[in-house]
Structure formats: structure tokens, C-alpha cells
A and B are shown apart, each in its own frame.
Chain A
């Protein structure tokens, strides 16, 4: 697709970035209060428990917000593409910033409320969780 920028992976968030190796999205969830959080942190920001782990989720959710981007910010960055905020099904109050895989079809741009599912893009050992329309197939 495009040459992607890769995040600096740290001990607190490595499980998130490596989660896609088996095709499954994992989000940090507190064992004490059961709430999810993102981005990952050493403790639950709700209850400050350290008993926090990465829970496998469906990778499905709803588009909370969408911006179709037309500006090529970096050399070789193909446009237009959609940056999205996803509300995961298991944690509808969580906000996950990502992008739709591939380019936007101007006749059918993604819209708020659309159902989406995760699709990983691996770069240098980091599995970036991108999204595609739900039911889009492999």
C-alpha cells in the first residue's frame, strides 16, 4: 500500500502492536474493574490497578468519526484515504484512531456509523490494526 511510519514500541504497548501476528486484535483491559483503555499504560487509569492485561476482542466495531484525507503529507503517500475513529464492539466508549485499508472510493466513502472489522498490516514486526468494511472478506 504505502511506506508506513512505524511506532516506537515500548514495554507497555508491545502486546498491542504485536497482537496482529495471529490475526487477533487485543485491547488492554483491567481485571479489577473490567474496563478497557487505550492507549495502553502501566496501570488502569480508571482504578489504578496494575492487574491489567491484553484481552482478545472481535476486531469489529463502528465508525465513530471519519475524515477523508486528500493531502499527501509524505512522499509516496497515496490519497485519498480515510482516517477513522473506531468504537470497538466490546468497548463502545473507547476511541481507537486508525485508517481504512486502501484508498477511498469517491462514490462510496466510509461514513460515521459504518460497521468495520480489523485488517492487519505488518511492517517491521509491528502489526498495525487497520480497518475494512465489515464483511469485506479476506
Chain B
């Protein structure tokens, strides 16, 4: 069988900074913490790093969302690279996927990929509204079709999808709660998670309503933090201090119109395109997957990904998740083992990718879910998505 380009690359090392609410360290300091840990974990000296990539990169003007750009981090680490990239399009895994392709094409041998957020500090006491205020200006871009109608937040944008899914398929808030409770239960076993106090169904229903059907506990937690990866050529996979992680397949397709609420069917999202693309490339099938790390910016999104990836039929994710036992750490398909963004912190997809690696390296400690051979990762909501299968080598 011929090798797919992504199979020419492996994840050789991972790193993470402290993650929390309003940390005293700058975004750049957090980034360097994560990058240096990833370098050490890969067993590489910085002189061996010849590529650097991130999402969304410098110049992205949403406070706290972007983190430092690739050139800023390159300069701070004193790297000499043959290739660098940062770009806001292509989804949250765009930096990582680009690194994989750079390695596969021979442009670089060892690429440092990172993702940093400083949303907790940027939002300050005003919460999310401060970071999204456009008052005094006119609204450009895709938000002009949303904000004038007081659809200000992704909570509302995605709530419109969730409400339709509930209407068509009988999905309930109990199903959404099962995701929130599952992820908090996992976070309780993850010392790095932001929120670790276990939740009850009562807590879930008592939480303040945000945008129906989403209450406070349906929304992920903005944080400060950084995660990093060293993506290396497969020829060097066995040269590090521990086994590298294989990249079995990637899905990066966008086949529907990449606009918010373009429809006509809003019960699904771009996730279905990325998932279809993944299974077109992969030699694996959903039945081969031992656990999933699925984007949980809102509780509804893992349901979208479960359907998109084919773990259940269209409209069936609510029933599939049920009371949550199936997706628990000891269930048949553990989901968001580190607590996800809902409880561990909103590292914007890359925290889930990091957790997939933690599990494949058997470093999960109290939250380790067996000894997975295959982990599927699905990242994104609305009109952006990326998916991949990671394998134990």
C-alpha cells in the first residue's frame, strides 16, 4: 500500500504550558514554556528545528484569541528555519496540518507547531462581551450578517444549529448535559484542568441561561495557555526518547459553502466534510477507533462530530451519548478524556490534539483510558473543521 503524505510525518514530542484563568505570564512566555517542553520531549535541540507553524498567526485582531505569531516565536527562540507559516483560514488545525505537509514535502524535517490563547486575561472582568465589542464602528466580514441582528457570540450562532437538531431529531438538554458532565468528570482526574469540581445534573440545569438551548455549562471556558508539538519526518520517528505518534490520515475538506448558516440543513456542519475526507483517506473505520477527542466549544459540537465521523447515524448522537456511560473513561468510546475545552480550558482545538497524544503515550495518569491504539480527533464548529486519526506506532 502506498504511503499517504501525512504518513510521512509523526508527532515526536508534545508540550504544554500552565493553563488557567488570567495567568500572570504573557502569551509569549506561555508559548515558550510549551515549545521548550515539546523540544525536550522530542529529544531535539532547537538547532534541529527547521520549521515553525501556528494558527491563526500574527495580526489576527480578536483579543487573546491569536497568541504570538510564528515569526515572533521564532525570534524569541532563536530559531533558523527553512519554512514558517501562520494563517487564520483553514481551521484550528490549519497550522498543524500545514506542518505535516511541510514535512511530507521535504520543506522541513522537524517543525515546531504551537497554539496559544490569552482569552481569559484579554476578556478581563467584562467577560466575552469585551473581546467582541465593535461599538463605534461598522461591522465588516462575516459578522455583518450576524451582529446587526444581535447574534454576537458563537454561543448564539451554534445554538441555532442545536435548536434545529433538537427539533428534527428529539435531541434534548439531557443529552447536552451528558457531555458537560462527562468532560467535567474527566477534568476532575486531570490536574492541569481549569475546572475540576464534579458536576451534577442539577448544577447543569441551575446554571444561568446564555442562548437557548445553551446555558453557562454548555459553553467552554476561556483560558490562558499554550500547547506545542514537534512534527517530524517518519524517518526520525525512532530516534527520540520515546515512541513517536503516527498520523494515519487527515481530513481537511470543505465541500459545503463555508459560511455561517448557509444551510439549507443546519443540523450538520463542516465537520461532515472533514470527516468524509478523513475516511476517504484513512485505512481505518470508526469501529477501529478506541477513543475520540472532539471539539467541545459547546456541548452540542461533540454530537455533531459523532454523527459526522459515523459513530452513529445522522440525528442519533443524542441517543448514542445517552446517559454518558458509553463515552466515559471506562466506556466503549471514551470522549474528551482530559476534560475538553468545557472544563480543561479553551485551547481552541489544539488542547484536544494534545490530549490525544497524552493518551497514546500512556501519560494520562488517573484519566488514562486504557491503552488506545487509535484516537480520532475532530476540531471545529460551524464552517471550519479538521479531523485526523492518530495511531500508536
Contacts and interface: CB of A to CB of B under 8 A. Distances in A.
Given A73-B128, A74-B129, A5 B160 contact: no
Interface stretch (B106-114, B149-157, B181-189, B316-324): B149-157
Contact of A73 (B144, B148, B152): B152
B149 A83 contact: yes
A3 B133 CA distance: 13
Interface residues of A, number: 36
Interface size on B, as a range, is 35 or more
A55 interface: no
Contacts of A112: 163-164, 167
Given A85-B261, A95-B263, A65 B161 contact: yes
B150 A2 contact: yes
A57 interface: no
A128 B153 CA distance: 19
B138 A7 contact: yes
B199 interface: no
Contact of B148 (A4, A69, A93): A4
Contacts of A72: 129
Contacts of A81: 150
Given A67-B163, A93-B264, A83 B151 contact: yes
Nearest to B152: A73
Contact of A128 (B149, B163, B209): B149
A64 B150 contact: no
Contacts of B148: 4-7, 126, 128
Contact of B211 (A8, A67, A97, A98): A67
A41 to B, nearest CB: 10
B80 interface: no
B262 A95 contact: yes
Contacts of B261: 85, 95, 97
Interface string A61-98: 00011111111111101000101010000000111011
Interface in B128-182: 128-129, 132-135, 138-140, 144-153, 155-156, 159-161, 163-164, 167
A73 to B, nearest CB: 4
Interface of B: 128-129, 132-135, 138-140, 144-153, 155-156, 159-161, 163-164, 167, 208-214, 257, 259-264, 266
Per CB-CB distance, the 9 closest pairs between chain A and chain B, nearest first, are A7-B144, A95-B263, A67-B159, A73-B152, A8-B138, A93-B264, A65-B164, A70-B209, A8-B140
